[in-house]
Amino acid sequence: MAKEKTNVAESANVKSASKAPAQPMTAMAVVAPIVGWLVPGAGHLIQKRWGRGLLLMLSVVAMFVIGILMEGKVYAFNTGDILDMLGFVGDLGAGVLYFVVRALGIGIGAINLATADYGTKYIIVSGLLNIISAVDAHDIAIGKKP
Amino acid sequence: MTLQLSHFSAALIFALFASIVFGITQRSERREMLKYGAKCFLFFVVGTIAAGWAMWILRH
């Protein structure tokens, strides 16, 4: 009985090992997602994925800028409403763009414009898409993706 | 400078950029990226139009 249990445990270990092969943890695997978060698309560019990097940069930056031009709201750090907190997390995903806009005092949000709410969503989603891009840069760095 | 977009054009631009990012990040091969990006864009647009009609039906 005890031997059977050991065999089951061993086979489970073998299965989990074959499912998740160890990925090499290089310096690039750490640097790429951080750079990619700070500057949209840069995580791909430093790995010489020029086309992908430029398209990601264009998409994230364009969405963020359009959101600002639509007078969307940029969330500051807060501990109030849960949606406001999540809004801050989404906005923060845009990296340097977020810090620049906050430093310039832009993104107060116009309540008199119907489209300003779209702008707020554009800004949040651009940050979230940038986080996905940074994770993708990490996957490329560890060789999980070509 | 303020940008005033209609609801539909705002949804189209949103769909375009989100689909580009989804296509690049969710697939490995270039051809697959294009196919997936186009599929996402189509779903966004069709979903927007369907939601618009659904709201119109609910309103009337």
User: pLDDT digits over A54-76, tens only?
Assistant: 999 999 999 999 999 999 999 99
Domain membership flag for residue A113: yes
Q: pLDDT at residue A8 above 90?
A: no
Q: Which of B4, B21, B25 sits opposite A115 (nearest CB)?
A: B4
Domain membership flag for residue A18: no
| A72-88: b (≥16 Cβ within 10 Å) or e | bbbbeeeeeeeeeeebb
Domain membership flag for residue A69: yes
Chain B contact present for A133, CB below 8 A: yes
- pLDDT score of A107: 85
Using an 8 Å CB-CB cutoff, list chain A residues near B8.
none
- State the nearest Cα–Cα gap between B7 and chain A, in angstroms: 8
Chain CA centroid to CA A4, Å: 45
Greater pLDDT, A61 or A11: A61
Interface test with A, best of B7, B17, B48 (most A CBs within 10 A): B17
Q: Which of A55, A66, A113 sits opposite B13 (nearest CB)?
A: A66
Q: pLDDT at residue A22 above 70?
A: no
Domain membership flag for residue A14: no
Domain membership flag for residue A17: no
Query: Nearest residue on chain B to A136, judged by CA atoms?
Result: B25
Band (pLDDT 50/70/90 cuts) for residue A3 is low
**How many contacts (CB atoms, under 8 Å) link A and B?**
64
Q: pLDDT at residue A20 above 80?
A: no
Q: Do A63 and B17 touch (CB under 8 A)?
A: yes
Greater pLDDT, A109 or B33: B33
Query: Nearest residue on chain A to B7, judged by CA atoms?
Result: A115
Tell me which residue has tokens 């631009």.
Answer: B13
User: Residue range A104-120: average pLDDT?
Assistant: 84
Q: Give me chain A's average pLDDT, please.
A: 88
Domain membership flag for residue A133: yes
Q: Which residues fall within 8 angstroms of residue A138, CB to CB, at 6 or more apart?
A: A29, A32, A33, A36, A43
Task: Supply the ipTM of this predicted assembly.
Answer: 0.92
Q: Which domain holds residue A79?
A: 27-141
Domain membership flag for residue A21: no
- The predicted model scores a pTM of 0.86
Using an 8 Å CB-CB cutoff, list chain A residues near B2.
69-71, 110, 113
pLDDT of chain B, 60 residues: tens digit per residue: 788 899 899 999 999 999 999 999 999 999 999 999 999 999 999 999 999 999 999 998
Please measure the distance between the N-terminal and C-terminal CA atoms of chain A and give it in whole angstroms. 46
Query: Nearest residue on chain A to B21, judged by CA atoms?
Result: A56
Domain membership flag for residue A9: no
Please state the domain count of chain A: 1
- pLDDT score of A14: 52
